[in-house]
Structure 1
Amino acid sequence: MPNRRAVTGRSREPRRRFAQELRQLRSSHKVTLRQLSDRLGWDYSLFAKMEKGETLGGPEVVEALDAFYGTPGLLLALWELALSDKTQFKEQYRRYMQLEAEAVSLWHYAVSVLPGLLQTREYARETLSLGGLTGADLEGQIEARLSRRAGLAEPDAPPFRAILSESVLRTRMTDADGWRAQLQHLLEGAPLGNVTIQVLPFNAGLYRLMSTDIWFLRLLEGGTVAYVESAARGELIEHSEAVEALQRRYDSVRDQALSPGESRKFIQCLLEETPCTTST
């Protein structure tokens, strides 16, 4: 087993430490990014972003790097530390928010909670409160969320498509009047020319994003990034191959969803508290 190197002078912040280790190992092995790409099969731009700390990559590429550099388990251990570090999740979310503001189109799949861009003030308050926010922090997050929502009504707003799992629409707020106002807001938002809402009903069966709440942002220069989130964390994915794989899953879900017109009828029947039937 190779000797462990001293870490004196290295960053103690997990994400930066991981990136530093990658740069040091490539330098000591005297290989270029393109040579690394040729040897391991991933695009050189992925390795460049990993060394800059812009992305962590996935476990497969990290294990391949461990094997190539002869550091069994070292890089994977550092990667796991970086992945579990709450600081880097905040950094990724901040970067996501910046990219969202610059996006020329957005699309989303909601597995359990309505996306912030479609939430009313009351719905935002209840969901954010469940996350533990109170007082000024809660009010600040609510205003930030509503300011994002208001952007959808601007003349130059980007197109936005939201696919909502039926479970999102079956999970009511504690306030019945607030929930009716939220459903009405969805009906009012759907006619906007840049907003498309589709419902994925339960009877569509199993599908490929069953536990994944995900955003896609198409950027001005033509690239697309994805942001996958759960109640505990979020991850910004910028590597093109990984994003494309997720997009294929999203497309299959869209094919199973109700049409925008059928989705509107579905939401209307929920608002009227009548049985909702679908032909899917």
Structure 2
Amino acid sequence: MPQRLVITERSHEPRKRFAEELRRLRGERGLSLRELEREVGWDSSLFSKMESGGTLGGPEVVQALDQYYGTAPLLLTLWELALADPMQFKEQYRRYMMLEAEALSLWQYSVSAPPGLLQTVGYAREALAAGGARGKDLEQQVEARMGRRKLLLEGDEAPPFRAILSEAVLRMGLRDRSAWRQQLEFLAEMADRPNITLHILPFDTGVHGLTNTDTMFLRLLDGRTVAYTENDVRGELIEETDRVERLQRAYDAVRDLALSPAESRLFVLRMLEEVPCEPST
């Protein structure tokens, strides 16, 4: 009879499990945070935040720790699981996030902000802070949003994504002009990816069926399409076929009004020219 495995008391939540493993490995070496800083080269405050669950850190520091502890690829695997864990999102969004991660294709209309899948770190941080997020909660939400972005950046397995952005998305910039420039550059870069189709809907097209509603559609493995609509105060996952079909007809009408992908990329580049570069020092 095979020997029974011992069940540990370690957390089954990926983010907590990652932090626990970091603490365990440092404890086994008998290192202080300052000593780990000297050994690995990153600031001890970052290690402290990672071990408390305040941040996940980036892939470079996690790979460096894996190499130092001789655990590769354990820590990087735990980091990736924590980054993709839907439990890090607020409860009302978790079901949508799980469906998004499994979607075969996605298409979206955005009213006034880039979709989360196309946001830079700088944009996400300022937008979430404007919504009231602070401190540890802010950093966790930024990391969660960046984790979602991996969905579009996984090479041959990345799903097709079509995004229609109202011109308002490109007009409502950030207070940090450097961060806003990086966001526009990122949109132009993403528009060149083979799995991403970007449209801009100019102001002069007038009112339409999605004027005030951010809308995302997901085509799922079972052949269904679901929709998620959101405004400033609430979001709703829509699975009823007739409601989804009505939204799709509205979306198709908006797409017919939008600029072509080539025209849209040029539009983004023209907007980029209007943002001053940071003065050289």
Distance across 2 between alignment mates of 1:91 and 1:255: 35
- Partner residue of 2:131? 131
SS of the residue corresponding to residue 126 of structure 1 reads helix
TM-score, length of structure 1 as denominator length? 0.65
Count matched residues: 186
Runs of 5+ consecutive residues of structure 1 not aligned to the other structure: 1-89, 275-280
Q: Could you give the per-residue CA deviations for residues 115-144 of structure 1, whole angstroms, max 9, x where no partner exists?
A: 110000000001100111111111011011
Distance across 2 between alignment mates of 1:142 and 1:93: 15
Is 1:94 the counterpart of 2:94 in the alignment? yes
Whichever residue aligns with residue 189 of structure 1, its letter is M
TM-score, length of structure 2 as denominator length? 0.64
In the TM superposition, what are the counterparts of 1:233-272 in structure 2 within 5 Å? 233-272=234-273
CA contact (8 A) 2:215 2:228 kept: yes
SS of the residue corresponding to residue 206 of structure 1 reads coil
Whichever residue aligns with residue 138 of structure 1, its letter is L
- Partner residue of 2:214? 213
Whichever residue aligns with residue 224 of structure 2, its letter is G
How large is the RMSD of aligned CA atoms in angstroms? 1.4
- Partner residue of 1:33? none
CA contact (8 A) 2:101 2:151 kept: no
- Partner residue of 1:118? 118
Whichever residue aligns with residue 169 of structure 1, its letter is L
Distance across 2 between alignment mates of 1:220 and 1:195: 20
Distance across 1 between alignment mates of 2:247 and 2:145: 25
Distance across 1 between alignment mates of 2:175 and 2:125: 12
In the TM superposition, what are the counterparts of 1:145-224 in structure 2 within 5 Å? 145-156=145-156, 157-224=158-225
Runs of 5+ consecutive residues of structure 2 not aligned to the other structure: 1-89, 276-281
Aligned-residue offset at 1:91: 4.6
CA contact (8 A) 1:92 1:236 kept: no
Identity %: 61
SS of the residue corresponding to residue 236 of structure 1 reads strand
- Partner residue of 1:144? 144
Q: Could you give the per-residue CA deviations for residues 234-266 of structure 1, whole angstroms, max 9, x where no partner exists?
A: 011000010000000000000000000000010
